[in-house]
Every structure is written in C-alpha cells, then in structure tokens.
Amino acid sequence: MTKHTPGPWIKIGECVREFDTTDLIARPGHNFSVINPSQTLEANANLIAAAPDLLEAAKEALAECGDITVSKILRAAIAQAEGDQ
C-alpha cells in the first residue's frame, strides 16, 4: 500500500502543502499528477476523503477519554480540523 505524503501539512487559503516545502498536496481544480506520483495522490485523496469520519471518531473518543494527555491531543486535532487553530 502506498503511503500518503507525510505531515505535517499546512493550509494556506484553499491550498494544502507540506509544512517545510513548497510542494502542494491539494488545491481545488488542480491536477497534481505531474508533480506527485499517482499512487501518492491516491493515498492523499484517501486520507482527505476519510477526514470527516476521522473527525467524528476523534470527537467520540474525546467524549469517552479519561486520559488528560490524550484529551489534549484530541482537542488540538479537532480544533485544527474545524479551523479553530
């Protein structure tokens, strides 16, 4: 199985790129097959498509979590996903 582009990723406007490079991960209406191998693109698309389910799972895990450290990690991830960070 091909892996997605490793993080961290950063959002700038509607674009997503690798944090420490200028390599774009996603941009509306743009084909990145020339920039990235198609298998990596598919893995990135799978991860992006799973994001809503992962966000809901994080919220459910937070509601059940008793560990302070894990709760902080979940809250930070949820805030980032919801644009609050």
The DSSP secondary structure of the chain, one letter per residue, reads -PPPPPS-EEEETTEEEETTSS-EEE-TT---TTTS-HHHHHHHHHHHHHHHHHHHHHHHHHHH---HHHHHHHHHHHHHHTT--
Q: Look at 28 and 46; give whichever has higher pLDDT.
A: 46
Look over the chain and give the mean of its residue pLDDT values, rounded to a whole number: 81
Q: Look at 26 and 57; give whichever has higher pLDDT.
A: 57
pLDDT digits (tens, 9 = 90+) for 33-71: 545 556 777 788 888 888 899 999 999 999 999 899 999
Q: What is the pLDDT of residue 29?
A: 67
Question: What is the average pLDDT across 76-85?
Answer: 86
